[in-house]
Every structure is written in structure tokens, then in C-alpha cells.
A and B are shown apart, each in its own frame.
Chain A
Amino acid sequence: MHGTHKIVSKSQLSEEVFRIEVQAPLVAQERKAGQFVIVMYDEDFSERIPLTIADADPVRGTVTLIFQTVGASTHKLALKNPGDSIVLLGPLGNPTHIERFGWAVCVGGGIGLAPLHPIAKALKEAGNRVTVISGARTKDLLIMQDELAAIADEHIVVTDDGSFGRKALVTEPLGELCRRAPSPDIVVTIGPPIMMKFCAETTRPYGIKTLASLNTIMLDGTGMCGGCRVSIGGTTKFVCVDGPEFDAHLVDWDGMLMRLGTYKEIEKEAHDRCHLEMRIEELEAQGDGARAPEKEPAK
């Protein structure tokens, strides 16, 4: 039986953000902007973790994934190193619909900047004028900045704490762009759900078509579990096979946010335990020499 994929390189972009490049020639060849994969850190006990594809190199046969260690599972994934194998299934979901809209505004928040990159790139290549709004809590979490700056005709950077760029939320410059004449032809937003919700509210009064890429709870990623379901304009849709991108003005954001919190308490407990275990391991590694005498039998 085969089906695992080797990590060929790994780097840490900030305290919580990791980039891994994984050998997956067919996925690298087939994937298009907007698609995602499901990864597992092992084949027995791992959760199935959906991650958007940040980049792919069909020549090297690799895909690049960027993820933030937000819970126990992503922490365990971050412990994997080049040479280790992981489970990877994809590419999943429908590709972003790319065409020449005119002026496209791409809004990315935090880790969402990673999957925003291939979409912004594809929009640029299709002949659009591209404005990128990069947002993060703090300077450290701003990722893919060189890559996005290279594509963008205009690049606006904001941080919540003002440690880099403008001290603002992404919705502030987004609102300003909406008020320009002519206004943007399309807005694409990827990031924390609450950010995408407020991006949708920002563009709604101007009637600007806005797409959001959703990252909901998901098991198989092939339409079988229905865990990813979300109400779109009153109809239940599955993010894995109908999405992951939807008209942001039709998404039931509050319902989606509630569903995302389904396992919040359990996950917090697992996350805390995971930190505790990692701390114990660290201490053991440090303290091996110091505590060695204790292991000797008492005479």
C-alpha cells in the first residue's frame, strides 16, 4: 500500500507559522488556484486537516503548504521534518473562477495570505489590475509579503497593533477602495471567518461581487460527511464539493461561526495538553543529565 508523501523542505515563517514543501507530483500538476488538500501527520490517530495550497511546482513535483499551529493537530504536523512522510489528499474543491474582471481586490488575513497568493497571481495573469490588502494581528504574522508585493499593482498592509504598515483592520482600506470611482469589479477574501464576514459587510452596500474561501470542519473532503455544510442564500451547501469559494454576501456567517465552534472546548483541552506534553519533552531533553542520578537504584 502506498499513498504517503515526503516532506522535502520546511521553514518557520514566524513563531506560529510553518511552511512545508511536500512531494506530490500529481497534485502539483492538477491543482489550480483556490483548491485545498487534506493532510494527516500519521495514518493511525491523526485528525484530517484541510489546508489550502499556497503554491505548487509541477517541475519539482511539489506543493507548498503554509499553516499556523492553532491546535494539537497542527502542532503535531509542525513537528514533522524534511524526510518524514505525511498523508496528503488532493487537490480538493473547485478552483477559483478566474477571468478578466477589470479591477480585482484581494484581501488576505493572517494565514489566509498563503492561499490568497495563487489566486492573486492567477487574477493578475488573466489581465486584471490587482490590489492586495494584507492584514495580520502583528508584524510577525504577516507572511508571503514579497510574493504578494511582486504581483500587486497596489499593496496595502495593515496590522491590528500597528507594528507594521497601517494600524487598522483590513475592512478600513477595503471600504476606502469601495468608495473610489470606479469601484473594484471583484473582491476576493481569505482569512479568519470573522474577517471575511466583515469584508462581506463592507462591500455589501456597494454591491461589489465578493468571494470568500471557506475553511469549515471537514473529514473526508469528498462530499461524504457533510460536516462542512454551510447555508448559502438559505440553501445548504457542502464546502468540499460545492466550494470552497462562495458569494460572501450569501454566506450565513453566524451559522458558520457557530459550527466552527463545535469542538472548541475539546480542542482547547487537547491543545493545552499538547503544549504541556511538548514542555515536558523539552524539560526532559534539557534535564537528562541533571536528573540522571535519580534513575540509579538506591543502595
Chain B
Amino acid sequence: MSHKEEYIMDNAEVELARLRSAPVTPKVRMQIPPQDMPAQDPSERRHNMDEVALGYTPAQAMLEAERCLQCKNAPCIAGCPVRIDIPGFIGKVKGGDFLGAGKIIKKTNLLPSICGRVCPQETQCQAPCTVGKALHSVGKAVQIGRLERFVADYERTHGAVEVPNVASPTGRKVAIVGAGPAGLTCAADVRREGHDVTIFEAFHKSGGVMVYGIPEFRLPKVLVQSEAEVLESMGVDFELNFLVGRTRPLLSLLREDGYDAVFIGTGAGLPKFMDIPGENLVGVFSANEYLTRANLLKAYMKGKAGTPIYPSHRVAVLGGGNVAMDSARMALRLGAEEVRVLYRRTREEMPARAEEVEHAIEEGIIFDFLKSPTRVLGDDKGRVAALEVLSYELGEPDDSGRRRPVPIRGSEEIMPFDTVIVAIGNESNPLISQTTPQLQVDRHGHIIVDERQKTSVERVYAGGDIVLGSATVILAMGEGRQAAQAINEILQ
């Protein structure tokens, strides 16, 4: 830990004591600066897989909690996809009752240690925060995500993780397809009502994108595992290495195996490619492949893991979302000397969380904005040697409200690379719909659901990326929760 980190922590204790020596008025609260989260030094962390952010100390958490104005209308709650009682849990943190805070969060969110780390708070709960609004900066809003993370970690490290109550058995059975954020949330909510729940997962580990996609340095796998263990203690059954649609047809679960309802949360599917010449050359990877090798299959543990990872020196990452940031930072940790992110627009339009972009820059990732490749060039062995890159400028806003990038004619340049990671999103997974033709999908292959997450097939519900396209962990959880409510209603 650096001196800066130590200062941040020590300073919080002094500040907290000083603050509490006099009555704390709203005006005083507004003057407390948002607490920085201690983090590993960039020059160190770029060489290890350990978590980057280190989390608040108790004093920092209490000081940050003092910034909350406890607004009666609580605009933050409306910004949370699972409607956590945010002022409620922050109030407990302020009083030092961290376990009490955990109980409040757990009422609506079973996976707070995960959400506290990977939610895009700046566009959700922290966006409408009164403090941020008053200070004219969403960055100065109450740091709700960091507090949530602190509370969840405190609960876990103090051995106080509570297993939610499960109602007495109803004799009803629910099948959950996919053990990602949507499936795990749905499973918990359905299980609470006393129904039998089995989660079917195609991979050999549960967690979905949280284990194959999001890297260890951003979300330690031990957290995902402990959240899944809570579900196991609740009596949820996990069938790993089970591909619904192939190992067993979806409808057989309902018709022959006695399940009363099914929730499909199979997540992202086919990775998108740029559709440019040379994309099948050796050294071009989808972010899904690159990250799955590194995370789920532990390719970073060289010599121990059976799965190889491509030895890279100069890496181009295409895309501007969180997955692009994860890929770039992973490539750096796996030994690449130079990693550049090529993005067609500018930093303002990047969909990645601000914190991830900052962390990436600190670690030495280079950003080439307003650039996009037109061709991948290979050597005589079919390996990537370079990208031909076109420059863009921003034009009029498009449908998404973001200014449309317009190519600058004749601006092509050759940039040398040996590895290209494509992180421009996913198309939907065709497996379930291929093997269950009764299920209606839209022209992108996403499963069509009504406002209660119900599909075109009776007793079959769906949510998360298989419905939304590429979204976030928390949105998937929100859909899982909504589906669970609907399922619980039909099973009453």
C-alpha cells in the first residue's frame, strides 16, 4: 500500500472525529469531500491479478455515510434496478451498525459484494443523488456503490453472512437455466417462497459472466463462489455441465421432469466481430474467448492451467465498454508490453464505467479515440501483424443521442499489433431457440417477453442478456427478480 492510501485512511479517522465534535448540519455534510477508495498502486497492480480497489475502512465508510442527506423522497432508490433501501442502509453505516446495514441491503439484493463492485452506479443510484446534483457533479454524489461494497465485505469477513429464510416446502419445482446474475437472483427469490429450485449451468462453475468474463482483479472469484454457497445453503440445487436444449430439451423439463416453471437466463451469445477482412487470422480473439481463457480457465496461472493463452506484445482492443476495459487490462497483466484501445468515438461516449476507464489509464493502457480498423493484416504464417486504421470525426447525433462518428477519407494508417481483441458486444445465443422452436424471438434472436418476463411459451420466463442483448449484471438481476415475482404468483 502506498503512502497516499495510508493517508486517505488515517485522514478519514481524524476527519470523522472532528466532524462529530459539533452538530452535523446539511451544510456541513455537503462540505465533506467524497471518500476516495484506496487502491493498489498502478505500477504494482498491472503485474498482478489481485483486486485493484481495496475498499473503505470503517472510518471512511462512516464519513462517506455522513454525506448522505437522508432525502425523504430518496431519488437514489428509483435509480436502483433492484430498489435497495439506500438511505436506510446508509443510515445504519453512519451509526456504525454495519451488520444492520447488510440486513437492509439483503432484503432486496442477495449479491451486494458483487453489485458494489460492478454496478455502473454513476448512471443508476448515484445519478439522481441530491448531493451530486447540488454539487453539479455526479462524481460528487454519495458513493453508494462503495458503501454497499464495504457493508457486504464487512459482513463476509466477520462471518456474519446470513442465509435468507426459506418458507416451508410447497412441493412446486422451478428450473433455472443459467447460473449467471439473472439466474442466481431468480433462484434465490423463488426458493425463498419454499419452491424447489434447480439451476442448470453449462459451464463447470456457477456465476456466468461473473466467473468467465469479469476478471479476478475487478471481482474476486471467491466472492461469486460465496454468493453461490449462500444459495446452496438455502437448498438450491446446482446441475453443472448441463446444457438445457442439448443435454435435455427445455420442454421436457416441464412435460416430463415435473418442473412447474422455467426461467431462461442463458446470457450473452455469439460474440460480434467487425466483419472486416483478416478477422479469422491467428491472434484475433473475441473478448469472450480471451477473458474466458484467462478467467474461468485460469490461463494466467502458467504451468498449472491446461488452457493456453496467446503470447502477446502489442495488443489492440476494439470497443469502448467494460468488456473492452477488462480485456485491455487483462492483456497487460498477462505480459503485453503495449495495449491500445481503439474506439470509434471519444471518451465522453464510451459506455464503460468511468472508474474502469480511469483505472485503465492509470495502468498505462493507451486510448486511440476516433479510430476504427478497416482490415487486419497478417504475416506469411497467417498471424496478425498490423491493423489498417481509419480516423473519424464526430458528426450529428444518432438514434442513441450520441454524436455519430464520420470517417475521414484518406486517413488510413497502419498500426503494428500482434493481437487483436474484439470487444464490440454479443449477439444472442442461438441454442435455446434453435432447440426450442416454440419460443418466440425477435429478429436479433433475443427472446420476446412481456412486462412480467413471460415468454411465448406457458410457464417459461426469461431475463438478462438473452432478452436485453448486452446489458449489465444488475439489469440482469433486476429481470431475474421480476421473473421470480411472476413465477411465485403463478405457483401460489
Could you tell me which A residues sit within 8 Å of B by CB distance? 1-5, 26-27, 30, 40-41, 43-48, 72-73, 76, 87-92, 219-220, 222-227, 229-231, 236, 238, 241, 252, 254-255, 258-259, 261-263, 266-267, 270, 273
Contacts and interface: CB of A to CB of B under 8 A. Distances in A.
Given A90-B246, A236-B279, A258-B282, A225 B240 contact: no
The residue among B246, B273, B381 with the most chain A CB atoms within 10 A of its own CB is: B246
Contacts of B441: none
B292 A226 contact: no
Contacts of B304: 45
A222 B202 contact: yes
Contact of B308 (A5, A45, A220, A267): A267
Nearest to A238: B270
Contact of A226 (B243, B271, B306, B311): B271
A30 B247 contact: yes
A263 B310 contact: yes
A263 B270 contact: no
B456 interface: no
A225 B243 contact: no
Contact of A224 (B232, B246, B288, B307): B288
Interface residue SS majority, chain A? mixed
Nearest to A72: B306
B269 A270 contact: no
Contact of A259 (B282, B288, B298): B282
B268 interface: yes
Contacts of B241: 3-5, 87-89
B306 A47 contact: yes
Interface string B203-216: 11110000010000
A229 B232 CA distance: 37
B156 to A, nearest CB: 20
A91 B246 contact: yes
Nearest to B240: A3
17 contacts: A1-B240, A3-B201, A26-B248, A30-B246, A72-B306, A87-B204, A87-B240, A91-B247, A219-B293, A223-B269, A224-B268, A224-B292, A227-B285, A255-B280, A262-B310, A263-B310, A270-B306
B305 A236 contact: no
Contacts of A47: 297, 305-308
Interface centre among B241, B269, B273, B281 (most CB of A within 10 A): B241
A95 to B, nearest CB: 11
B311 to A, nearest CB: 7
Interface string B77-116: 0000000000000000000000000000000000000000
Interface string B264-291: 0000111101000001111101101100
A261 B379 CA distance: 14
Contacts of A76: 306
Given A48-B297, A225-B271, A241-B431, A270 B308 contact: yes
B42 interface: no
Contacts of A241: 270, 430-431, 434
A2 B240 contact: yes
Interface string B433-463: 0100000000000000000000000000000
Nearest to A31: B246
Given A4-B241, A45-B298, 7 more contacts: A87-B240, A89-B243, A220-B203, A224-B212, A226-B270, A227-B285, A266-B308
Contacts of A258: 281-282, 381-382
B243 A224 contact: no
Given A220-B202, A258-B381, A44 B307 contact: no
